[in-house]
Amino acid sequence: MTEFIRKRTANAKNDILSGLTVALALVPEAVAFAFVAGVDPLVGLYAAFMIGLITSIFGGRPGMISGATGALAVVMVTLVAKGNAMGAEGEQLGLYYLFATVILMGIIQMLAGVFKLGKFVRLIPHPVMMGFVNGLAIVIFLAQLKMFPRLVSQETPFWGNIIGWFSELFNSLSTNISFWIMFGLIGVTMFIMFGLPKLTKKLPEALIAILVVSAIVIFGNLDVATVGSFIRDGGGEGLKGGLPQFQTDIFSKVPFTWETIKFIGPYALILAAIGLIESLMTLNLIDDLTETRGNSNRECLAQGGANIVTGFFGGMGGCAMIGQSIINIKGGGRGRLSGIVAALALLAFILFASGLIEQVPIAALVGVMFMVVIGTFAWSSFRIMNKIPRTDLFVLILVSGLTVVFDLAIAVISGVIVSALVFSWENAKRIRARKRMKDDGTKVYEIWGPLFFGSITAFNEKFDVKNDPDKVEIDFVESRVSDHSAIEAIFNLVNKYKDAGKSIKLKHLSEDCKVLLYKSSPLFRDVIVEAIDDPRYHLAENPESFTKGLGEYNL
């Protein structure tokens, strides 16, 4: 028992300190994504607290951080807007439709876990994974740029007035002191995070950097953007709030009808897919960083359960957050305790320390996220560009670009489809047929390579039914019949030889293929050869002859 407790608490200090750092980084992200979705900041903060806590306790990847994310927020904004239009002005009906959608989203995700669909994340190719990481790093970077003071007014167009746009930009750079102060504070944050680990690894560099830069701003009385000003500029009233409340109004404002399901169903399905893809791919990334193995199906169940709870208690839903997860892992957070501390600290900020957290400068948090971008981006992708197949390079760039332009689900699904098509095409070209004649005049086709939907055209072209002799054998010993299309191709080929009045035999078919062919037609009882005289089989059955044969080669 003592040994068990010692192992569980060995990393407690790192988990606690890393969790506090993550909690600070969660605040502006959750608030920003709430603004993107068109809801109150507390809706994003409550989601970050509830989803982070539940997934940390029950999820399949200790150390992974979940909360409100931008990938989901960009989908929610349309849902909220349409929902608001369906109700009276000021009723905020879209918010309640959002809660109902998040609940349905969670149910879909839990079903994915029940049916063990999480394992399919293993089918995602490495170029897609690299593209996902690079694209998400770019998205995080672009999101931080929005935190800087605006240098060019929105009324000044770029296209059509490029000279005027750059002229205004240069004038702003020379006069906008707040921009350069923020730029300098970001530099200080990044310098501390870069240099502190070289001096000591016992202190969490992100947390120290935030505290130091916050002290500089507070004691230096610098006029810079803070968490509090960020919330108020976005239309919020502040970080202060109470405990999440059960949303009883969902049942009165959102009718449980088929029309409601038709409205929220597509949004719930898209949100569930995006949430699971981002969560499971982040899980794989954390697996690689920690050299451990998470449980994808358990994570599906936890994400789904967390979204159901957050929907009932007034949260906007969410999934795994790659940026905060990287902060946690880099800060030494490895166990469930780190995520639990982050969630509880975030709730404590809302309840008791809103005034202090609102004084944290945005520059410190942007600097932390810039370091996350540097650590997240797969810089090795530049080094291997000339060393990997061009198709893999195309997939990598495609996924990166689609992640930035559209969203993660479209990017990953597109990358997987392109990779699958390339794989099918390459394997389709590998089908071969070696032809020889037996002494009795039988023509033998020895098939090499995989037989599946992509290679059946090339397979059919190997045979000359009209000019072949009366006896033909097709030997599949070096081939694998992979799908129904292949079985159908064999069935049609046999019928062609039968219609031509010729005898055909099939050898070395797999058991599952034979079963399906027997079911399709009784004529295969006479076509498929069951008893096969193959010297390779005799070799395996007679170890003594195998050893004797090796002895002849003085091995």
The pLDDT-based confidence of 265 (bands split at 50, 70, 90) is very high
CA distance 275 to 268: 10
Mean per-residue pLDDT, 181-196: 91
**Predicted confidence (pLDDT) at residue 310 exceeds the cutoff of 60:** yes
DSSP string for residues in 480-542? EE-SHHHHHHHHHHHHHHHHTT-EEEEES--HHHHHHHHHH-TTHHHHB--S---HHHHHHH-
CA distance 113 to 58: 13
Type of residue numbered 149? P
Both structure tokens of 364 = 């410190």
Please report the pLDDT score of residue 551 as a whole number.
Answer: 45
From residue 196, alpha-carbon distances to 182, 202, 206, 506 in Å are 21, 10, 9, 70
CA distance 13 to 360: 23
Strands 432-437 and 319-320: unpaired
Higher pLDDT, 364 or 544: 364
The pLDDT-based confidence of 8 (bands split at 50, 70, 90) is low
Q: In 3-state terms, the chain is what percent helix, strand and coil (to 5)?
A: 65, 5, 25
Please report the pLDDT score of residue 156 as a whole number.
Answer: 67
Task: Please say whether the beta carbons of 215 and 169 come within 8 A.
Answer: no
Both structure tokens of 220 = 């230096």
Please report the pLDDT score of residue 539 as a whole number.
Answer: 36
The most confident of the ranges 181-190, 249-258, 371-380, 408-417 is 181-190
SS3 382: helix
The domain locations on the chain are: 25-147+225-366, 155-224, 432-551
Please report the pLDDT score of residue 235 as a whole number.
Answer: 67
**Burial class of residue 124 (count of CB atoms within 10 Å of its CB; 0-12, 13-18, 19+):** buried
Q: What is the CATH number of domain 432-551?
A: 3.30.750.24
Which helix (H) or strand (E) segment is 13 a member of? helix 12-37
Task: Please say whether the beta carbons of 279 and 299 come within 8 A.
Answer: yes
Whole-angstrom Cα Rg for the chain: 31
DSSP string for residues in 360-381? SBHHHHHHHHHHHHHHHS-THH
Please report the pLDDT score of residue 1 as a whole number.
Answer: 44
CA distance 419 to 396: 10
CA atoms within 13 A on the CB side of 535: 3
**Predicted confidence (pLDDT) at residue 180 exceeds the cutoff of 50:** yes
